[in-house]
Amino acid sequence: MNRNTFVSAALSCLLVAAPAVLAQDKPMEKTDEKKVTTTQGTAKSTDHTVVGTVKTYTAGKKIKVLVGKKTHSFVLDSKTVMTTVDPSVAVGSKVKVVESKNADGTKTLSITPES
């Protein structure tokens, strides 16, 4: 393989892979609402998801996640919310936070590492 072909192939690989690599570092925030029809009527379930970097974290108490230029705060010791936090979550790590409210009113908060 001559040098120009090699350089051309290497640049092509970089151009193809670059959008995928850059997309991984993007913070994300989205809300999904679903309607569920039951025998008692129609109920809504909601999922609010954010992906960002942990700014501050006090185990069992609270966490702040930087999503773009916005900081989202989450209370971890609420008696009305079932909370799970992966043990590897730490300040500076990238995480995915999912707040859910099911059709039956149950609230959950899940924090997991995001690669």
Tens-digit pLDDT profile for residues 52-76: 999 999 999 999 999 999 999 999 9
Considering the chain, what is the average pLDDT of its residues? 82
pTM for this model (two decimals): 0.70
CB neighbours of residue 80 within 10 Å:
7
Residue 50 is assigned to a structural domain of this protein: yes
Tell me how many domains the chain contains: 1
Query: Which stretch of 11-25, 47-61, 68-82 has the lowest confidence by average pLDDT?
Result: 11-25
Q: What integer pLDDT is reported at residue 77 of this predicted model?
A: 95
Which range of 3-12, 23-32, 40-49, 56-65 scores highest in mean pLDDT? It is 56-65
Separate counts of helices (H) and strands (E) for the chain: 1, 7
Residue 64 is assigned to a structural domain of this protein: yes
Residue 83 is assigned to a structural domain of this protein: yes
- Residue-number span of the structural domain to which 102 is assigned: 27-113
Residue 91 is assigned to a structural domain of this protein: yes
